[in-house]
Structure 1
Amino acid sequence: MAGCGSCCAETQRIEDTRWRRVLWIALAVNVVMFAGEIGAGIASGSRSLQADALDFLGDAANYAISLGVAGMALRWRSRAALLKGGTILAFGLYVLVTTILAAMGRGVPQAGTMGIVGMIALIANGGVALMLYRYRSGDANMRSVWICSRNDAIGNLAVLLAAAGVIGTGTAWPDLAVAAIIAGLGITGGAQIIRQSLAEFKLDRGSGNTAQATAR
């Protein structure tokens, strides 16, 4: 049994190392893409690119938090996931409000820039999502990272569709519609993470109370 315990511990250590490595790669990708996409979004007047860029920034912060709590007890990972869920939810609400305000203005974004940047972002997020796919069924902290990457890839596909829509209609409405979709992904994704993190936090507290009662 001792040998099995040692083997399991070694396996867990290797898995933690892989998890950290993936997070570092994801963090670097998101920082670089935020810098590039926010500039392109402002220059092209695309609300969906700006929304997607802010999503990159939020994800970079979330990956940094995940790196900070990797290997910690479940209660700390749950708290970190709760913070991330709240951040993602707040981001979604912010994008929704700014999109509504933008709909009251005028102007048509540059569809060509939207298409090029959207494709680059899709390739970047697709690669990150593939690396994180194996962790999609983990705890709330791991699941939150997977949801972030999944939402990003879906958002990038939507940006490409928006670019085509802007070209086809000659209006900004496809761009605004996609920005609203990205906002919706943030709101629903954040709510999912919050629910799971609260459930895990309660489970951890219940286990702790049971252990204390047994000790008495």
Structure 2
Amino acid sequence: MTRLWNICAFIALANLVALIGLLVWMASTGRIDSDRVDRVRALFAQPVEVERLAAEAQRQAEELEREASLEADSMVGLPASSRWPIDAFTKIQMERQRMERRFRDQLERDGQEILRAEQQLNAERDAFEREKAEYQQNQEQLRVQQESAEFKQAVKDLESMPAKSAKNLIVETCATGPEGIDLALRWMKGMRQGTRATIIASMKSAEELKLASSLLKSLAVPSAPGGPAMETPDETSITDASSS
């Protein structure tokens, strides 16, 4: 405990010596004098809120002084005999001018506040639109990735099934309509050639052979304009698959 106290005392003494050295250096180089010290002390003498209220009071006093000066200027053009007392009409005019000046000042301040609020609102709206677009893009990417993963898993499961079971599933899917046929074609395009040939070779009935012919024709269509045609099983591979 004594050692810790000695260390703390040494650090405090070192800081004090450094502070004194800094003050001596600033005084010797002309960077500090009594006036600057007084200004710094006066700067921190009052709380920020008190200083703000004092500035507001000074602004109001300057505004009243300006209004009084304008009123005095408006009286210069009057004859000496009519400057005092001022008649009721002149008082009304002066009061109206004072109200107009206050109204214009208030209107200008309100306009500036509205402009700042509008700029802030536009900035927040732009930020929201960017976040919304980014969120939608991320959601779309996740959806595409999920669909791709599900499709690959479906093709993998289909390839792992016996040829007859896979054939029955494809036939049932095609029977649901154009969407089913499109899905079956996508499955078969994603399969390995040997698995696809085995499934097509397992189609024996007249209806299944007709479906197989239609699928082979669709699989032979290029996947993109000008691209290579999809490789399809020939009759020999189908015969070999059916005999195995």
* TM-score normalised according to structure 1 size: 0.30
TM-score by length of 2: 0.27
- Structure with greater contact order relative to length (CA < 8 Å, sep ≥ 6): 1
